[in-house]
């Protein structure tokens, strides 16, 4: 006899977290309550499903929900773990279904990036193979903004706001120091394959001489001669030059610049691409260089969230529940842009199969031809994503992110030993 569809929703977080992924969790919980549907969370993404490590969200009151919605990081824990294709690991696939069945889960909601959307499809396939009725939906998030099928990815706008603000402010700092040696400020930002975050720093620029003066992205192979010439130009003009570089900057031969340097120097590389550029320019021109590497600071700026980003993160979470209730399956919710100025957007959806595993690159036409700043098209796209009102309570000057103590859901199955934690 086939199972009756479960009424419970299960939500989990996957991949690198963002400043607003918990706003999506909030949206899910609010919508589930509105529909009168029970909702659970899995701890650490799909690993929590395999381990039957589930959390009850029933006890969350209004204050808890507000705290959840403004907290950076992943409140339920995240993971970087891919399921095996169900056909190649039937035991794992069965385990996923067993856990969902044991807790009456009829809707699986997975909040992640392009790799995580593959996991959603794998869970759907596992359920299909087992004849278990399950709706599987994806909720987008990534600071990298590299998800296909959505105008932007929740998480990106806040990181973009943080980095653009940082470039504007650090640029004013660099500009105010005088010296006969040229000064160089390099900010190395995230982006292994895509230059979205590097491009976002271009929003700092309002007038021609404002930082950043050069934006280096993985999509455009690094031309060291042209780069050096342009740095020299800016130092000659202003006494300093501010550069944003994506960690994944590549040489014309396709290797990462950081790899090339390691091969050349024949020793262990301690710095990233920012340090390498600073070192080369110092050696060549004698410039005094400062390198900032915001690292996780750009991924977790809860204090500087974009209001637009927050609203979109919450909306794509809520919409996933609404869509599930209306019967949707194997889709990811998306942000659909309706107009640039005034900025208008709505939530849509796209088939998971059309977005899983794909990476959306930065269109080079978003940069000006020399790569020094944003083009008009780039600015039109980016500007609304960092806007919108948002404030976080700071009773003692620091953001107040209370830790939620969520009760575990009692296990109903024997332990599962089939997968090592990564």
Footprint of a second copy on residues 148-187 (CB under 8 A)? 161, 164-166, 168-170, 172-180, 185
Shortest spacing between CB 270 and a second copy, in angstroms: 3
Look at the alpha carbons of 304, 115, 380, 389 in this order and tell me if their dihedral is positive or negative: negative
Helices 90-102 and 114-130: crossing angle in degrees, nearest 10, is 80
Which of 1, 4, 225, 268 touches a second copy (CB under 8 A)? 268
Of residues 26 and 291, the one with the C-beta less far from a second copy: 291
Bridge-based pairing of strands 331-339 and 344-351 is antiparallel
Window 77 to 96, contacts with a second copy (CB under 8 A): 77-80
Q: Which two tokens stand for residue 171?
A: 């640029």
Q: Is 162 exposed, middle or buried (0-12, 13-18, 19+ CB in 10 A)?
A: buried
Sort 327 into a burial class: Cβ within 10 Å, 0-12 / 13-18 / 19+.
exposed
Q: How many CB atoms lie within 10 A of CB 257?
A: 23
The rounded distance, in Å, linking the Cα atoms of 306 and 96 is 36
Q: Residue 269, interface with a second copy (CB under 8 A)?
A: yes
Residues 310 and 390: beta-carbon distance below 8 Å:
yes
Nearer to a second copy, 4 or 403 (CB): 403
Residue 63 beta carbon to a second copy: minimum distance, rounded to whole angstroms: 17
Binding flag, residue 349, a second copy (CB under 8 A): no
**Closer by beta carbon to a second copy, 117 or else 200:** 200
* Residues involved in catalysis: 144
Which window, 66-74, 100-108, 229-237, 358-366, contacts a second copy (CB under 8 A)?
Answer: 66-74
Cα–Cα distance for residue pair 360/153, rounded to 1 Å: 11
Region binding a second copy by CB under 8 A among candidate stretches 89-97, 117-125, 229-237, 271-279: 271-279
User: DSSP letter at 419?
Assistant: S
Q: What is d(CA 127, CA 124) in angstroms, rounded to the nearest whole number? A: 5
What is the x/- site pattern for a second copy, positions 367-406, by CB under 8 A? ----------------x--xxx--x----xxxx-x-x---
What residues contact 296, with CB distance under 8 A and at least 6 apart?
none
In angstroms, rounded to a whole number, what is the distance separating the alpha carbons of residues 132 and 207? 59
Among 11, 26, 41, 44, binds a second copy (CB under 8 A): 44
Beta carbon nearer to a second copy, 76 or 227: 76
Cα dist from 18 to 93, 146, 231, whole Å: 28, 14, 33
How many residues bind a second copy, per CB under 8 A? 76
Measured from the CB atom, the residue of 201 and 349 that comes closer to a second copy is 201
Q: Given the complex with a second copy, which of 43 and 101 has the nearer CB atom?
A: 43
Q: Which is nearer to a second copy, 33 or 80 (CB)?
A: 80
User: How many of the other CB atoms lie within 10 Å of CB of 271?
Assistant: 15
Peptide bond connecting 357 to the previous residue in cis, omega within 30 degrees of 0 = no
Q: Least Å distance between CB 123 and a second copy?
A: 18
Interface mask (CB under 8 A) for a second copy, residues 272-311, using x and -? ---xx--x----------xxxxxxxx-xxxxxx-xxx---
Measured from the CB of residue 167, what is the shortest distance to a second copy in angstroms?
Answer: 9
The residues in 183-242 that bind a second copy, with binding defined as CB under 8 A, are 185, 203-204, 207
- In the complex, least distance from residue 30 CB atom to a second copy, rounded to whole angstroms: 21
Collect all residues with Cβ–Cβ distance below 8 Å to 356 and sequence separation of at least 6.
114, 115, 117, 118, 120, 121
The answer to whether 120 and 356 are in contact (CB under 8 A) is yes
Binders of a second copy in range 3-22 (CB under 8 A): 13, 16-17, 19
Instruction: In angstroms, give the least distance from the CB of 353 to a second copy.
Output: 27
**Lookup: tokens for 98:** 């067993």
């Amino acid at each position: 006899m086939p199972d009756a569809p479960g009424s419970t929703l299960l939500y989990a977080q996957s991949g690198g977290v963002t400043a607003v992924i918990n706003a999506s969790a909030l949206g899910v919980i609010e919508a589930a309550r509105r529909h009168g549907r029970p909702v659970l969370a899995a701890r650490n993404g799909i690993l929590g499903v395999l381990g039957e490590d589930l959390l009850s969200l029933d006890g969350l009151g209004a204050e808890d929900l507000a705290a959840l919605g403004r907290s950076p990081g992943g409140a339920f824990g995240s993971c970087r773990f891919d399921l095996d294709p169900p056909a190649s690991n039937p035991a794992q696939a069965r385990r996923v279904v067993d856990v969902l069945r044991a807790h009456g889960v009829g809707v699986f909601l997975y909040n992640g990036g392009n790799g995580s959307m593959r996991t959603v499809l794998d869970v759907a396939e596992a359920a299909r193979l087992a004849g278990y009725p399950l709706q599987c939906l994806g909720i987008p998030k990534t600071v990298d903004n590299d998800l296909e099928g959505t105008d932007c990815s929740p998480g990106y706008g806040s990181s973009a706001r943080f980095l653009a603000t940082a470039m504007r402010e650090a640029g004013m700092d660099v500009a105010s120091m005088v010296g006969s040696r040229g000064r160089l400020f390099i900010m190395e930002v995230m982006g292994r394959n895509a230059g979205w975050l590097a491009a976002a720093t271009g929003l700092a620029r309002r007038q021609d001489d404002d930082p950043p003066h050069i934006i280096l992205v993985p999509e455009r192979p690094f031309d060291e001669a042209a780069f050096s010439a342009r740095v020299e130009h800016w130092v000659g003009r202003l006494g300093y030059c501010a550069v944003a570089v994506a960690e994944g900057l590549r040489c014309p031969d396709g290797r990462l610049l950081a790899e090339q340097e390691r091969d050349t120097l024949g020793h262990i590389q301690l710095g990233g691409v920012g340090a390498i550029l600073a070192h080369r320019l110092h050696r060549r021109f004698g410039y005094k260089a400062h390198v900032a590497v915001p690292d996780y600071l750009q991924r977790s700026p809860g204090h500087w969230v974009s209001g637009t980003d927050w609203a979109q993160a919450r909306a794509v979470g809520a919409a996933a529940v609404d869509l599930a209730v209306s019967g949707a399956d194997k889709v990811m919710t998306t942000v659909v842009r309706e107009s640039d100025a005034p900025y208008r957007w709505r939530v849509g959806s796209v088939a998971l199969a059309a977005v899983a595993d794909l990476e959306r690159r930065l269109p080079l036409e978003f940069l000006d031809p020399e790569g020094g700043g944003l083009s008009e098209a780039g600015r039109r796209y980016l500007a609304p994503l960092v806007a919108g009102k948002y404030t976080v309570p700071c009773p003692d000057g620091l953001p107040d992110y209370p830790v939620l103590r969520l009760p575990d859901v009692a296990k109903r199955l024997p332990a599962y030993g089939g997968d090592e934690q990564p």
